[in-house]
Amino acid sequence: MAHLIPDIRSFKPLTPGEHTERDILQQLERGLADSYTVFHHLYWANARPQGDQHGELDVVVMNRAGDLAVLEIKAGELDMSAQGLFKQHGEKIQDVGVQVQRQFSNLQARVRQRGWGIRLLHFLVLPHHRIEQWDDTIQFPRERIIDAQACEDLPGEISRTLSQGLDAPAVRSQVHDFMLDQLGMQLDVTALSGRLSHQVRSLSGGLATWVPRITEGVQNFV
């Protein structure tokens, strides 16, 4: 079984789309080997002078080499036209191509900044759509689309494309920490000790003030 982060038990789906995502996560967890790690619901932010960007990566699969496969899951109804792929959320219409490109470009830029020589793949997962014919576009090459038929063996699709990779513990550990947003911060024992001493003094001072009052109140009550 693959390593799922965070644990699936912490994921409480509320919508049909979220239920589909949970089913996909369970499928990946059971179907992939233990050399894979599956991250899900990763929130990201990008600070820019013209305005900050925010987004969420649905699922990211990492192999033992630290290579990454980003899975953008689009469940339910979609509008496919010559203008692109669109999904409606209430009164808002989302351009899937723009969203996918923005998220992938942000992750790609951050990986390059760190100088990791890893592969970075992106898949558009359509669990409720079967693609009979698809004209490749600059946004969605056919080999990067996993439709309903391919979703029946989603772990196999990922294994064949991403592969387990050559074992690279050092790089994999760095990528793992990056995906969890661990910034390599180390605990300052001296600072912690000082803060703890301050809290103890504050607590002691509070007890010294309130214990006599409580005792006096009890005596007066008796």
Look-up of token digits 């925010």:
54
Q: Name the strand (E) or helix (H) holding 165.
A: none
- Considering the domain architecture, whether residues 38 and 103 belong to the same structural domain is answered as yes
pLDDT digits (tens, 9 = 90+) for 7-60: 888 778 888 888 999 999 999 999 999 999 999 988 877 666 666 667 788 999
Q: Do 111 and 18 share a domain, yes or no?
A: yes
* pLDDT tier, 125 (very low <50, low <70, confident <90, very high otherwise): very high
Query: What would the pLDDT profile of 202-212 be if each residue is shown by its tens digit?
Result: 445 544 444 44
Is pLDDT larger for residue 221 or for residue 83?
A: 83
pLDDT of 62 strictly over 70: yes
User: Do 86 and 20 share a structural domain?
Assistant: yes
Q: Tens digits of per-residue pLDDT, 142-200?
A: 788 899 999 999 999 999 999 999 999 999 999 999 998 865 555 455 554 554 454 44
Same domain, 60 and 79: yes
Burial class (CB in 10 A: 0-12, 13-18, 19+), 161: middle
Q: Do 85 and 134 lie in a common domain?
A: yes
Q: How many domains does the chain have?
A: 2
Higher pLDDT, 107 or 137: 107
CB atoms within 10 A of CB 138: 7
The number of C-alpha atoms within 13 Å of 153 and in the hemisphere containing its C-beta is 5
Same domain, 84 and 104: yes
Does 148 lie in the same domain as 105? yes
Residues 195 and 219 in one domain: yes
The contacts of residue 3 (CB under 8 Å, 6+ apart) are 34, 36, 37, 38
Do both 39 and 134 map to the same domain?
Answer: yes
Which residue range forms the structural domain that includes residue 205?
186-222
**Cα separation, 37 vs 40, whole angstroms:** 10
150 shares a domain with 109: yes
- Within a 10 A sphere around the Cβ of 123, how many other Cβ atoms? 24
Same domain, 122 and 12: yes
Q: What's the pLDDT score for residue 37?
A: 97
pLDDT of residue 222: 46
Label residues 62-87 b or e (16+ Cβ within 10 Å = b): bbbbbbbbbbbbbbeeeeeeeeebeb
pLDDT (0 to 100) of residue 109: 87
> Which of 68, 120, 72, 121 lies closest to 94, judged by CA?
72
| Confidence at residue 192, expressed as pLDDT on a 0 to 100 scale | 46
The amino acid that residue 220 corresponds to is: N
Q: How many CA atoms lie within 13 A of 221 on its CB side?
A: 6
What residues does 79 pair with on adjacent strands? 86
pLDDT at 22: 93
Match 């969890």 to its residue by tokens. 180
* DSSP reduced 3-state for 206: helix
- Looking at the fold, whether 60 and 111 belong to one and the same domain comes out as yes
pLDDT at 173: 95
